[in-house]
Amino acid sequence: MESRYKKVLVVDFGGQYTHQIARRVRELKVYSEIISPEDFEKELKKMDIAGAILSGGPKSVLDEDLENVKKVLESTEKPVLGICYGHQLLAKAFGGLVEKNVVREYGRTRIKIVYRDKLLTDLPEEFWAWMSHWDTVTKPPKSWIVTSISESGAIASMTDNHRIYSTQFHPEVTHTEHGLKILENFLRKICYVEPWWDPGDVVEKIVEDIRNMVGPGENVVCAVSGGVDSTTTAVITHKAIGDRLYCIFIDTGLMRKDEREEVVETLKHVGIKNLIVIDASKRFLEKLRRITDPEIKRRIIGEEFIRIFEEEALKIPNVKWLAQGTIYPDRIESGRVGAKSSLIKSHHNVGGLPDKMNLKLIEPLKDFYKDEVRMIARKLGLPKNIWTRHPFPGPGLAVRIIGEINEEKLRICREASAIIEEELKRAGLYEEVWQAFAVVGDDKWVGVMGDTRKEGYIVTVRIVQSIDGMTADWYKINYELLDKISRRIINEVENVTMVTYAVTSKPPSTIEPC
Ligand code: XMP
């Protein structure tokens, strides 16, 4: 196979940055795939694999038996890059020394290059890198070369000077200066793969696959929410099978302002004729009354959604398939791939499928990251407001309302969020951030409006920047804009007496409050 079209494996040892590694490789236009360590041997043998990256991980290599990994690594001539846990794994597997608690480094750390190998080509002699480790490689394997050291004297990177490279720091996180360059060096100078990956190029193939999968006379049902994932899924499926696609939009009453009208408008615009719109807001609110536990809320919404969806889908003749907008990180966060990653929240759009109906699944976007889906949506000619739209969680505003969900808090959350989005758009900053929304809880603040004292709700503004939602930074908004948002919320949204701004990143906080 031409080396141009080769892929890179990312072996998931459970590290929090595994997705970032895979994303970065794709950003450098090489297709990457996250696999579990159990599949490493089998996958690495495949012809179209140019090399592998061993991720970080929460365990200690000191407690692990690495015989199997060692065997795999020795059975190949393919290049390997170990990162953090991967670095320590390589050290231990090849006879170096790893020790506990000799040097603990967390956060930004200064790195000095002491030997310039292919991985560190074109980097300055010193740079800042992101570290997060307790175990440390104190001696490299015999005949390996230490290529850089950290300010605490730890081995920051090393190589066998042939095909195995490793870094204690994380080149995949943005805090590491020249991190992308390091990964680029690995891809181009060590794996010899030129840039080739473009998600837009595979759309025709996906359309063709769906066309071949769905038998003549069989119909497909798709739940649409107005978000980029489900809309793109619907459009791709529609391209493949035309009016045999039936879209169902369930208005849970937990949607953004004007969402229902926009969904109808967009699907009409792309030529989808069979759209069923269900107003189920009363049903959802009733089920959610007095429920405060976030996971119970999610479960109720998920179950109710599936129930309504099933009721409606059963009315459509000869439905055999369900098209679903699952994307790559959804599968991993929900534990369907990479068994080592831990479940943080149950994402209802992946968790529950209408099993009674025994439908087969079409997931055209299951291998893509969000920004790749956006590229595809753009290539498909979808309107800009769709492919630039912020992600919106399946359970909707329910995960932004702390405590019981009622109409009052929903109204506040919806109106305030619309103001935040509108102001960001006006300032030309909407596309710079990952998500921007309002959060409402039960705490009250005494306000003085005119001459009267009045208790009102507190609205927290949450604006974050992120690459894939797995980690996020709170957005350093300018004060004037924040002031404008705050004043508009107080003036325009009834019963709000205080606006606060959320200034904690993920981790430790999640993006949505519940
Ligand atoms: P958290 O809050 O876990 O969110 O930091 C990470 C990203 O996932 C979205 N999110 C969800 N999406 N169903 C979804 O479809 C859910 O239950 C859910 N919970 C969080 C969130 O909006 C953010 O982009």
Q: What's the rounded mean pLDDT across residues 308-326?
A: 94
For a mutational test of ligand 1's pocket, the pick from 293, 328, 347, i.e. the residue with the most ligand atoms closer than 8 A to its C-beta, is: 347
Convert the pLDDT of each residue in 51-63 to its tens digit.
Answer: 999 999 999 999 9
In which band, very low, low, confident or very high, does the pLDDT at 3 lie, cut at 50, 70 and 90? low
In which band, very low, low, confident or very high, does the pLDDT at 343 lie, cut at 50, 70 and 90? very low
SS3 52: strand
| Residue 401 CA, ligand 1 centroid: distance in Å | 14
**160 alpha carbon, distance to own chain's centre:** 34
Domain with CATH 3.40.50.880 in the chain: 3-190
Q: What's the rounded mean pLDDT across residues 246-250?
A: 97
Q: Which of 73-87, 343-357, 365-379, 500-514 has the lowest mean pLDDT?
A: 343-357
Q: State how far the alpha carbon of 2 is from the alpha carbons of 43, 192, 194, 195, 319, in Å.
A: 18, 11, 10, 12, 41
* Tokens standing for residue 261: 């009208």
Residue 370 has pLDDT above 70, yes or no: yes
Residue 339 has pLDDT above 90, yes or no: no
| Residue 331: per-residue pLDDT | 78
Ranges assigned E (strand) in 217-274: 219-223, 245-251
The atom of ligand 1 lying closest to the CA of 344 is 3
199-387 maps to CATH 3.30.565.10 = no
Q: What's the rounded mean pLDDT across residues 140-150?
A: 98
Cis peptide before 507 (omega within 30 of 0): yes
Q: Strand pairing partners for 506? A: 472
Q: What's the rounded mean pLDDT across residues 121-138?
A: 95
For a mutational test of ligand 1's pocket, the pick from 16, 332, 399, 463, i.e. the residue with the most ligand atoms closer than 8 A to its C-beta, is: 399
CATH topology of domain 3-190: Rossmann fold (3.40.50)
Convert the pLDDT of each residue in 193-227 to its tens digit.
Answer: 999 999 989 999 999 999 999 999 999 999 999 89
Residue 460 has pLDDT above 80, yes or no: yes
Which of 3.30.450.20, 3.30.300.10, 3.40.50.11690, 3.40.50.1110 is the CATH number of 407-501? 3.30.300.10
- Single out the catalytic residue among 170, 238, 348, 390: 170
| Residue 330: per-residue pLDDT | 81
- Single out the catalytic residue among 33, 64, 105, 172: 172
Question: Count of alpha carbons within 13 Å of 293, Cβ hemisphere only?
Answer: 4
| Residue 391 CA, ligand 1 centroid: distance in Å | 8
Domain with CATH 3.30.300.10 in the chain: 407-501
| 102/112 Cα distance (integer angstroms) | 19
Q: Which residue from 175, 171, 207 is spatially nearest to 186, judged by alpha carbons?
A: 171
| Residue 467 CA, ligand 1 centroid: distance in Å | 13
Contacts of 469 (CB under 8 A, 6+ apart): 329, 370, 391, 434, 511
Q: Who wins on pLDDT, 5 or 186?
A: 186
| Residue 344: per-residue pLDDT | 41
What are phi and psi for residue 368, nearest 5 degrees?
-110, 150
The atom of ligand 1 lying closest to the CA of 349 is 15
| Residue 341: per-residue pLDDT | 41
What pTM, to 2 d.p., does this model score? Answer: 0.84
Active site residue 172: yes
* Closest residue by CA, ligand 1 atom 11: 393
CB 370 less than 6 A from any atom of ligand 1: no
**H or E element in which residue 461 lies:** strand 452-465
**H or E element in which residue 232 lies:** helix 228-241
| Residue 450: per-residue pLDDT | 81
- Single out the catalytic residue among 84, 191, 247, 514: 84
In which band, very low, low, confident or very high, does the pLDDT at 4 lie, cut at 50, 70 and 90? low
Q: Which of 92-101, 316-325, 346-355, 503-512 has the lowest mean pLDDT?
A: 346-355
* Closest residue by CA, ligand 1 atom 18: 393
Convert the pLDDT of each residue in 464-487 to its tens digit.
Answer: 998 778 778 999 999 999 999 999
Q: Across the chain, which distance is largest between two alpha carbons, in Å?
A: 80
In which band, very low, low, confident or very high, does the pLDDT at 16 lie, cut at 50, 70 and 90? confident
Average pLDDT, the chain: 92
| Residue 107: per-residue pLDDT | 87
| Residue 332: per-residue pLDDT | 64
CB 435 less than 6 A from any atom of ligand 1: yes
| Residue 459: per-residue pLDDT | 98
CB 226 less than 6 A from any atom of ligand 1: no
Residue 462 has pLDDT above 70, yes or no: yes
Q: Which residue from 70, 88, 99 is spatially nearest to 131, judged by alpha carbons?
A: 88
* Closest residue by CA, ligand 1 atom 17: 347
| Residue 359 CA, ligand 1 centroid: distance in Å | 25
Q: State how far the alpha carbon of 146 is from the alpha carbons of 118, 165, 166, 463, in Å.
A: 13, 10, 10, 42
The atom of ligand 1 lying closest to the CA of 345 is 3
Domain with CATH 3.40.50.620 in the chain: 199-387
| Residue 449 CA, ligand 1 centroid: distance in Å | 36
Residue 350 has pLDDT above 50, yes or no: no
Active site residue 347: no
Residue 415 has pLDDT above 80, yes or no: yes
The atom of ligand 1 lying closest to the CA of 509 is 5
Active site residue 19: no
Residue 348 has pLDDT above 50, yes or no: no
Convert the pLDDT of each residue in 84-128 to its tens digit.
Answer: 999 999 999 999 999 997 888 988 999 999 999 999 999 999 999
* Closest residue by CA, ligand 1 atom 20: 393
| Residue 338: per-residue pLDDT | 42
